[in-house]
Structure 1
Amino acid sequence: MKPIELVRNNLRISILVALIALACFFLFVPGAGLGDDIGGNETAVDTPTNLKYGIELGGGARIRAPVDGVTAENVDVSRDEQGELAAAVANELGLDQPRVAVSAEGNTVEVFSGNVSDAELETALQETGHGSGDVTIRSGVTAETRDTMVEVLETRVQNTGFTGATVSEVQVGDEWYIVVEAPGRNVDIGELRDVIQNRGVVEVVAHYPTDNQSGNGTGYEQQVALRADGITQVGNIESQEGGDGYQFSVTLTQEAAPGYSDLMVESGIASNPQCAYSEDTDPSQWGYCQLIVYDNETITGLTMNPGLGDLMENDQFALDPTFVVSTPDRQSAQEIRTSMQQGSLPATLDLGEDSSSYEIQPDQAQQFRTSSALTGLIAVLTVVLVVFLRYGNPRVAAPMSVTALSEVVILLGFAAAIKMPIDLSHVAGFIAVVGTGVDDLIIIADEVLDEGDVSSGRVFDSRFRKAFWVIGAAAATTIIAMSPLAVLSLGELRGFAIITILGVLIGVFITRPAYGNILRRLKTDK
């Protein structure tokens, strides 16, 4: 028989073999995989496979924390009133206006401060004329704010050395939490906490000397010259030539450039490239500086480039509104660059008693991997033993065992292909897939064999079709039951549900039909 005819006559088996081969390709061929990593640790675990491991099997740190904030809902506010109401509420609460966000579309007022109680926000709304009886106040922030925080935090942690880190939302009861996971051998949970605990507000502040009340010229003044929303592009971080610091370029928006340039000229910074910033000296001695302020902490002071100052004085800075930011160390450069690029967090994370965190060391992760592999092996051997005891016929039991195990191989190949990080919940899903897979194959074998000898292909097809209806109904029930766990943010249960659903789909469309084809060949010789 020609190879093409052999494949055509055994199409279901051929598809199964092809998928197993493809899975082995993604599992064992170096560099095989589709797209970018979606998390997990590439370097923490040295194995012969391309599998990625999450924190539990590869080591790392995990922090879960609620968002600091209070939200008033059902607030009657128009689009034209948003800015005015935000300023009024901030004034009543004694906060900076950026700490209050008003949305006419969502009819919400958010206060991003852990020091404001529900009662204080209610009083502030009443004082501003927006405290109707329909208004409800709760702890936390809106979904839009959480989405923004996830996006900003993910970029921040990945750009500050935590390669493969992921940030997500999870709901526990009525409360929403932000979960930050950073896999890796050398992840320090203290460093991770330092990266995520601040809002990351970056300001360029104009600092220049002025006459004090005695007129001896030892006073100074500071004005905010630039915020992150006035920046359109930031360059890559580079080492400073002839120095120990780091630098990157910053390009302003066309809207922000004129105001920035005018302030530099009016303050005298553009014409006086003399900045003597030092933490050890009085600010009145610093001279003319551009201070880089990160979360209200001055990181460094920049001296104006003479050529750039000339462009500002000649009203030509807006043609190419770019200057260079330098910092004393790479970490501060990463934090400032990321905040300039992505913006600051609208709120902070509450890392107090309502938060939780844990760190898994590489040795402990190695123990988990060994235990998981041993548990999986015991489960597989037990299933194979039960199948052989049940049928006593290797011609029936051997294909059944191999077919069931092929589902796990295909799933592992899929995980390696999309670079999905595997944790203990996924391992539980793999074990469950073996069990449910064998259950379905037993249904097929019993339905086909228990009603007597299979005299023809037509008899086999009739019995197989009857068994497949049972399997299909069971698969549909499993998928429906697991779908909420796979879709909702329910932590570790999600990984288990996803693997189980994928295993059921692979079984129904690939391995069950292939086993039916094998059994048909064995019992009918066709």
Structure 2
Amino acid sequence: MKIKEIFSDWRMIILIVVLLLTVVAIKPTPWKEGIEVVKVNQEELLDQGMGSGEIIKIINGKNIETLEDFSDVVLGEKIDISTDRSNYAYLGNSLNIIVKEVDKSKIKKGLDLAGGTRVLLKPKEKVSDQQMDNLDSIMKTRLDVYGLSDLNIRKANDLSGNKFLLVEISGATQDEVRELIGQQGKFEAKIGEDIVFIGEKKDIKNVCKDDGSCSGVSQCGAVEGNQEQCRFEFRVTLSNEAAKKHAELTGKLEANESNGRYLSKKIDFYLDGELVDSLFIGADLKGVETADILISGPGSGVNRDEALDDALKNMNKLQTILMVGSLPFELEIVKMDSISPRLGLEFFRNIFLVGALAILSVAVVIFIRYRNFKIILPAVITMMSEIFIIVGVAAFIGWRLDLAAIAGILASVGTGVDDQIVITDEVMSGDIAYDWKDKLKKAFFIIFVAYFTTVAAMLPLWNAGAGLVRGFALTTIIGVTIGVFVTRPAFASMIEKLLKN
């Protein structure tokens, strides 16, 4: 009879409805298997059309279900890959693909749990909010064009008013991130000291990318120092103004004295003031308004595979900069952290274990305090419901759960235990001057005062530490709000029905 009374109470009905909505928000799909492609660096696979988001099922006849399966795969002279979209095969003994475990829910794990690289960037000059908005937009576009889709970018301020940009990227090395977002990306093509065109949309109409007919690695060979070097090249299409500038500058040049097939000066390519490459200009291009320009550059390594990978990486970076443009101002890397996916997985397992032990410990303490099993079950149900709903809200709003956010969840659940004890003490008090409703009103007055105090304490943390502890503040506020308006009333309902004589 009491069970029916409990579940027919409007406070329990609200809790059940919220739990069902949480399941919808999280959208669990535990049956999904495979490894998801984050980024493809293998030229043969790029030519065949493999891209990010594909789920790898089989490599060389072996089923791939975990990151360990992917790491332990035995490669031969020929590599066969089956994904959820297509089959791929190529000759080679390397597998240059960045992968992650397939998402089995809408829960987004932060850098601490999923692994990756976190960078805190600060402008080298004083900038406005509008300039930071522009930086945010350009940075997202640059990383997306480069092929890094699993990322999180947000603006942040510290308590001193300094502006920052926090970038979290899965599937990228520190060197890649440092080169890609630590550089302003100011590209210039010069003949002598005169600028022919720059890496902005007003000069460049189109950049050939992911098309083997107009981009790729043209040649590889040995160089001094027991090194291998490969050269990449890709075509860009200039605007009419840039083509006219090219004709104007080449029209002033004479033929090369030692080789009449070329003009007397080369066209030099600079990135952030450093020379990337120099190309001869054909004598037949003298004074000609040509829109198609071939841009090239080197890549090096201790062997041919490393040189090829380096050339592809450099080409991808330069193509990205030319497609997106330079950043509006120079940036300083304030802090950079990198966490491996395996370490993140260990973090997640340890947190789950510690959380379970914490709930068990609280249940034991409550039993020691009240010596009544009727109180333990509602307390455990309330704590677990609260954690589940907080995670569901985070999934719904797209917030990534990192260590700071999980600390906030634990903090909010801790305040929830305090509130449960307040409710239980009031309900079990022997004061006959109050009826049940008065006792609960008295308890909830204390709870609401504590709630507003907690929220007020969390607000300054929103921008503290350049936003690095924002996850703690957010999940704490979400947790105590859910507790006060959903789980605490449900707990009070259960206690009232179970203990009322």
Q: TM class, shorter-chain normalised? A: 0.5 to 0.7
Q: Does 1:294 align with 2:289?
A: no
Query: Which digits, 9 at most, give the CA deviation of each residue in 1:434-485, with x for residues without a partner?
Result: 2111211222222222145799xxx322322222222112111111111121
Equivalent residues, number: 402
Which of 384, 406, 410 is residue 385 of structure 2 equivalent to?
Answer: 406
Are positions 1:62 and 2:61 aligned together? no
Q: 1:478 aligned to 2:454?
A: yes
- Which of 486, 493, 497 in structure 1 is aligned with 2:469? 493
The answer (yes or no) to whether the contact 1:163–1:182 under 8 Å persists in 2 is no
Deviations 1:87-118, CA, capped at 9 Å, x for gaps: xxxxxxxxxxxxxxxxxxxxxxxxxxxxxxxx
**Paired position in structure 2 for 1:23:** 22
Q: Offset at 1:517?
A: 2.6
Quick check: 1:156 aligned with 2:155?
no
Choose the corresponding residue for 1:262, options 234, 244, 252.
244
Matches for 1:124-273 after TM superposition, within 5 Å:
141-171=127-157, 174=160, 176=162, 178-184=164-170, 186-205=171-190, 207=191, 222-228=194-200, 230=202, 234=206, 237-241=209-213, 244=216, 252=239, 257=240, 259-267=241-249
Match of 2:424 in 1: 445
Alignment partner of 1:346 out of 322, 325, 328: 328
Shift of 1:498: 0.7
User: What do residues 361-404 of structure 1 show as CA deviations (whole Å, max 9, x unaligned)?
Assistant: 33433332233222222221111112222222222331122112
Change (3 A) 1:491 1:243: closer
Q: CA deviation at 1:201?
A: 1.3
Contact preservation (8 Å) 1:239, 1:247: no
Tell me the distance in 2 between the aligned counterparts of 1:482 and 1:268: 63
**Structure 1 residue 383 and structure 2 residue 362: aligned?**
yes
Q: Does 1:395 align with 2:377?
A: no
CA distance in 2, matches of 1:469, 1:302: 81
Decide whether aligned partners of structure 1 residues 189 and 461 sit closer, same or farther in structure 2, where only a CA change above 3 A counts.
Answer: same
Q: Which has the higher strand share?
A: 2
Using the alignment, how far apart are the partners of 1:8 and 1:380 within structure 2? 23
1:438–1:298 distance in 2 versus 1, CA, 3 Å: same
CA separation of 1:223/1:188 partners in 2, compared to 1, >3 Å: closer, same or farther? closer
Structure 1 residues 187 and 467: CA distance shift in structure 2, 3 A: same
Any residues of structure 2 matched to 1:322-341 within 5 Å, and which?
Answer: 330-341=312-323
Question: Aligned with 2:331: secondary structure?
Answer: coil
Check 1:344–1:283 CA distance in 2 against 1; reply closer, same or farther (3 A cut): farther
Helix, strand or coil at the partner of 1:200 = coil
Amino acid at match of 1:263: K
8 Å CA contact 1:249, 1:323 repeated in 2:
yes
- CA shift, 1:499, in A, is 0.7
- Secondary structure at the aligned position of 1:359 is classed as strand
Q: How far, CA to CA, are the matches of 1:522 and 1:378 in structure 2?
A: 26
- Tell me, in whole angstroms, the C-alpha distance in 2 between the residues paired with 1:282 and 1:410: 74
Deviation at 1:189, TM superposition (A): 1.0
Contact 2:157/2:466 (<8 A) preserved: yes
Contact 2:201 2:323 survives alignment (8 Å): no
> Does the 8 A contact of 1:471 with 1:508 survive in 2?
yes
Q: Which amino acid aligns with 2:381?
A: V
The change in CA–CA distance for 1:402 and 1:228 in structure 2 (over 3 A counts) is: same
Which residue in the other structure is 1:74 paired with? Answer: none
Deviates more, 1:505-514 or 1:337-346: 337-346
CA contact (8 A) 1:387 1:401 kept: no
Q: Is the 8 A contact 1:204 1:225 kept in 2?
A: yes
CA RMSD of aligned residues (A): 4.5
Q: Which AA in structure 1 matches 2:111? A: I
- The residue matched to 1:230 in structure 2 has which SS? coil
Q: Which residue of 2 aligns with 1:508?
A: 484
TM-score by length of 1: 0.63
Q: Deviations over 1:130-183 (max 9, x none)?
A: xxxxxxxxxx55555444434433432343244323344555564836455444
TM-score by length of structure 2 reads 0.66
Counterpart residue identity of residue 12, structure 1 = R
Secondary structure in structure 2 of the residue aligned to 1:347: coil
Residues 68 and 448 of structure 1, relative CA distance in 2, 3 Å threshold? same
Deviates more, 1:400-409 or 1:152-161: 152-161
Q: Is the 8 A contact 1:200 1:294 kept in 2?
A: yes
Contact 1:231/1:340 (CA < 8 Å) preserved in 2? no
Cα distance change of structure 1 residues 63 and 226 upon mapping to structure 2, 3 Å threshold: closer
Distance in 2 (CA, whole Å) between partners of 1:514 and 1:384 is 18
Q: 1:461 aligns with which of 437, 446, 461?
A: 437
Tell me, yes or no, if the aligned pair for 1:302 and 1:326 is still in contact at 8 Å.
no
AA aligned opposite 1:345: L
Q: CA deviation at 1:191?
A: 2.0
**Does structure 1 conserve the Cα–Cα contact (< 8 Å) formed by 2:464 and 2:470?**
yes
Letter in 2 for 1:388: F
Aligned partners of 1:454 and 1:523 also within 8 Å: no
Q: Specify the alignment match of 2:54 in structure 1.
A: none
Q: Counterpart amino acid of 1:244?
A: G
Distance 1:384 1:413 in 2: 24
SS of 1:376's partner is helix
For structure 1, list consecutive stretches of 5 or more residues without a partner in the other structure.
Answer: 33-41, 70-139, 208-219, 276-280, 314-321
Percent identity between the two aligned chains: 25
Alignment of 1:411-430 (within 5 A): 411-430=390-409
For 1:44 and 1:229, the matched residues in 2 are separated by 34
- SS at structure 1 position matched to 2:216: coil
Structure 2: which amino acid aligns with 1:29? P
Q: Which has the larger radius of gyration?
A: 1
Instruction: Work out whether residues 20 and 410 of structure 1, in 8 Å CA contact, stay in contact via their aligned partners in 2.
Output: yes
Displaced runs of 4 or more, over 6 A = 5-8, 281-284, 287-291
CA–CA separation in structure 2 for the residues paired with 1:439 and 1:465: 16
- Tell me by how many angstroms 1:506 deviates: 0.6
